[in-house]
Chains A and B, each alone.
Chain A
Amino acid sequence: MRLIVPLQGVVQGRGGLILGSLIPCALFYFLQFYLKRHRSPPSNPPSQSPSAANLSELPRSSSRANLLARGSTGRASLSARATSIAKPNDSPYYIGLDRVREDPYDEIDNPDGIIQLGLSENRLSLDLIEDWVSQNLTDSKLGVGSQALGLSGIATYQPMDGLMEFKVAMADFMTEVMGRTVSFDPSRVVLTSGATPALEILSFCLADQGNAFLVPAPYYPGFDRDIRWRTGVELIPVHCRSCDNFTLSITALEQTFNQAKKRGHKVRGILISNPSNPVGNLLNRDTLYDLLDFARERNIHIISDEIFAGSTYGNEEFVSMSEIVDSEDADKDRVHIIYGLSKDLSIPGFRVGVIYSYNENVLAASRKLTRFSSVSSLTQQILVSMLSDKRFIQEYMKTNRQRIRTMCDLFVAGLRELGVECTKSSGGLYCWVDMSRLISPYNEKGELDLWDKLLNIGKINVTPGSACHCIEPGWFRFCFTTLNEKEIPVVMERIQKAVESCKPSV
């Protein structure tokens, strides 16, 4: 834009006198008024009633509030961010979880309750875990007797980010789970009370307030809370489509990145889940290499949420991001992995999550922040024993995988009988079901109507695609690992019931 020379008219003798003189003067006036208004502080000196002075000799048994005619000056208010956090749940994902909590299905006690298919929790192999715990939980394993009083006891400094032996055990477990193709280093392991805080801490370290991450959509609804709530980082979905089997396309990633840049968002990283949630497919080696290239070219991070790495049951091989990075010498700094024991080891109640990073700065900052989300030493001690019991772990992983596969096959077959298809998934505890033919109209509203019918008429809680930011309506996530085999026909019946109610009466 051209510079408007004030007083141009005066200088050059041409028009522009008004422009060049009035504008700066007007601006100057307004500036002064603005400054004046902002400088004067609000004043309300409190007033006390005179009788208060006489009471100072008597022992105080009540506050002055009762004497003031005015009473309190205002309601104690919450912060703006708490107000948005404290809003009642509005996503169907959380509403569904709440409804199941109020009215949970029980075969004997509450056969009309709501069956939970909306929480990806693995209950198929709980018996193995609980058997192990009841057989092996001895005092020595709990560390009883080792914390003697006084300085002559064992040095009890306990690092917030986990005991060294637990880190070693966890690194070994991760190596085992991810196929033994790469060896995990305990010094890069940071332990947190669950994968949820692990993701929050990592987001805090990689992005500042107002920055953004790209996330392939559909994605796990919890990301919205884990990342947006307190860190102030935005999530920008990169939409994947059914024609691609919902796999991530680098072209779409590029397009979204460029659009984000145009809108002024500073993208700091890509958050992928592998095996993906809610679709359940695995990213192949080529895609992972492409991702690394993409990240390098734009100087951003990659966060790979591999929490379902041990819950794979298909024929495809799981490739961890760490394997890709292992062969590189440069750019390890931009790769970070989130893991946890909630899904693969069926122990969400133990609250154990892992940040695994190759970036020393990120590790240093994360370790400091684990004070807010630390794992209790009792839990660590139990798990050190469990994870060190290699025979048990191998047995468990094998059996668990078989059980997930069996359940998946049964469930998918049951759905097929109803005429409903799923995408072919190879991992995770759920299947991604296409019910688009059953919704009308073919949009988000139609999908939510069907979800509502499934919840209220069918009495099953599932996760609709819109809660996962899926761009195509009609897709639902059904978690089948909270069921046992007997319950599958019950579920199918209920789906049928709900679906019938959708069809217009003839």
Chain B
Amino acid sequence: MRVIVPLQGIVQGRGGHFLGSVIPCALFYFLQLYLKGRGRAPPPPPPPSPPTEAEKQLAEQSSPSSSSSSGLQRVHSRSLLFSPKGSSGPAHVSSRANAVVKQVDGPYYLGLKRVEEDPYDGVDNPDGVIQLGLAENRLLSDLVQEWLADHAKESIMGKEFSISTYQPFDGLMELKIAVEEFMSQVIDRPQFFKPAQIVLTAGATPAIEMLIFSLADPGNAFLVPSPYCPDLDGDVKWRTGVEIIPVPCRSTDNFSLSITALDRAFNQAKKRGLRVRGIIISNPSNPVGILYDRETLYSLMDFATEKNIHIISNELLLAGSTHGDDEFVSMAEILNTENLDRNRVHIIYGLSNDLSLTGSKIGVIYTFNENVAFAAKKLTRFSSVSVPTQHLLISMLSDKKFVRQIVEFSTERLRRMYIEFANGLKKLGIECMKSDGGFYCWADMSGLIRSYSEKGELELWDKLLNMAKINSLSGSSCYCVEPGWFGFCFASLSERDIHSVIHRIGEVSKTCRSF
């Protein structure tokens, strides 16, 4: 832009008199007024004046109920002596706390609330709401319960160290070793995780938050391929001050991530003045369930190296590749075979969901970056796993026979449930995205919505919730750019339940098709 020479008019004798003289003067005035306004101190609060006479009288009159020998005790505060003015104002709650409370009102959270208020129970509450919106895995519950019945007590008590005393917040070394062996057993590859680089947390949720705190400052951003699970919003944004920039994926690409879209989103962010610090991926993607192939992972590494950003990979091991043809490739494997910059990749693993250990949240952070590991270890003081739970897990994960059983059954059951559910939906005329793993059927219900828009999708979601009493995951709450996609979690159902659920969805779809 050209530099506007003040007093141009005077200097050159042409127009620009106005521009060149009035603007700087006006700015100068405003500057002075602004400075003046800020410098003014806020008026001091009115000082309280407790009348001592009245206080003494009150103290004499009141009869303390507690038996104390030290004369009359104070049983009321001075507030009663003041004029009806009372306190100087309601107690202030921080603005960020208010923001957190307000944020939980989209369809995702409304659905969760409805289930909480009116949960389905086959015996006690058959008209309740069935939860299919949360990625909860209960397919291994019976195996786990059986193991617990035989081994729980001795595994909690029978260890060298006490279950009660302070232990390192980032987890017992024995558990880290057991986790590492378990992970190697499951992926069936030679061990490439070192126990000392593992940090254990009370779930994948705090693990993600800790990494975000370690990698980004307030006002920075992360790129996340969408659709993504709405929980990530809370994990990433609530307390850290970090933004999420969704990178839309499309059904034409099978909802897989394209590096072009990533690049575009990165540049757009830069134009907006947001500094991107990293990419967060879920592998398999959540909720769609697509696996990342080697090619894409390598491209991601290149992209991250080029832009000097981090990659956080949230992986599922047992439920990684259960019903597709592709194999699960962990980010750790990529790093292990290359002379890549390992310092920019951080892997999170939600152990408890993979093992159907609902309620005992255990998350694993694995990173080659020593500084990040060090910071994360220190932050585990806020999210550490209780020692009895750790003892239980050490025994469970060290029981190789049990782990083999788990791996076998997990794959088989997840596959069976997925196929049943997908076929059931197919019979209703609803196609599911061809996925490889994960806990959701990602269904295309765009044929059933009245108007091909978010509004139409929400109407259908509402019908599913209120007519069919099913809480599903709507695509719009996952930031999906194409309306009409819904996620149904099949991993908390038994085969019998699938029939009744499909039937309910069928009823709703009938009412939709009649339009």
Contacts and interface: CB of A to CB of B under 8 A. Distances in A.
A66 B389 CA distance: 44
Given A65-B305, A378-B392, A78 B165 contact: no
A155 B119 contact: yes
Contacts of A376: 202, 359-361, 385-386, 389
Contact of B382 (A157, A196, A299): A196
Contacts of A46: 306
A392 interface: no
A375 interface: yes
A298 B145 contact: no
22 contacts: A28-B23, A64-B298, A72-B305, A76-B309, A78-B214, A79-B214, A79-B216, A123-B165, A142-B152, A144-B152, A151-B492, A151-B494, A152-B121, A152-B494, A155-B125, A197-B382, A225-B381, A230-B213, A285-B74, A301-B92, A351-B386, A362-B97
Nearest to B381: A196
Interface residue range, chain A: 35 or more
Contact of B157 (A28, A32, A134, A230): A134
A348 B310 CA distance: 35
Interface stretch (B3-11, B421-429, B452-460): B3-11
Interface string A455-479: 0000000000000000000000000
B221 to A, nearest CB: 12
B110 interface: no
Please name the 6 residue pairs, one residue from A and one from B, whose CB atoms are nearest each other, closest first.
A377-B359, A150-B494, A349-B387, A152-B122, A76-B344, A24-B24
A372 B209 contact: yes
Interface in A153-210: 153-159, 181, 193-194, 196-197, 200, 204-209
Interface string B326-370: 000000000000111101100000000000001111000000010
A27 B374 CA distance: 48
Interface stretch (A327-335, A420-428, A445-453, A487-495): A327-335
A23 interface: yes
A350 interface: yes
Contacts of A76: 308-310, 341, 343-344, 369
A6 B239 contact: no
Contact of B27 (A27, A60, A205, A349): A27
A309 B165 CA distance: 19
Given A194-B384, A296-B79, A346-B164, A25 B217 contact: no
Contacts of A230: 213, 239, 379, 382
Contact of A378 (B3, B138, B341, B389): B389
A368 B378 contact: no
Contacts of B209: 372
Given A226-B382, A301-B91, A333-B90, 20 more contacts: A23-B28, A29-B3, A62-B298, A73-B308, A149-B141, A150-B493, A156-B358, A194-B381, A285-B73, A289-B76, A293-B78, A296-B88, A301-B92, A331-B87, A333-B91, A365-B100, A368-B101, A378-B359, A378-B389, A378-B392
Given A151-B122, A154-B121, A349 B360 contact: no
A250 interface: no
Nearest to A233: B94
Contact of A137 (B74, B115, B156): B156
Contacts of A299: 45, 87-89, 91-92
Interface stretch (B29-37, B430-438, B474-482, B505-513): B29-37
Contact of A149 (B142, B234, B308, B361): B142
Contacts of A24: 6, 24-25, 27-28
A157 B111 CA distance: 13
Given A78-B214, A85-B378, A155-B121, A6 B386 contact: no
Looking at A144, A206, A229, which has the most chain B CB atoms within 10 Å of its CB? A144
Nearest to A73: B308
Interface string B103-129: 010000000000110011111110010
Contacts of A204: 94, 96-97, 239
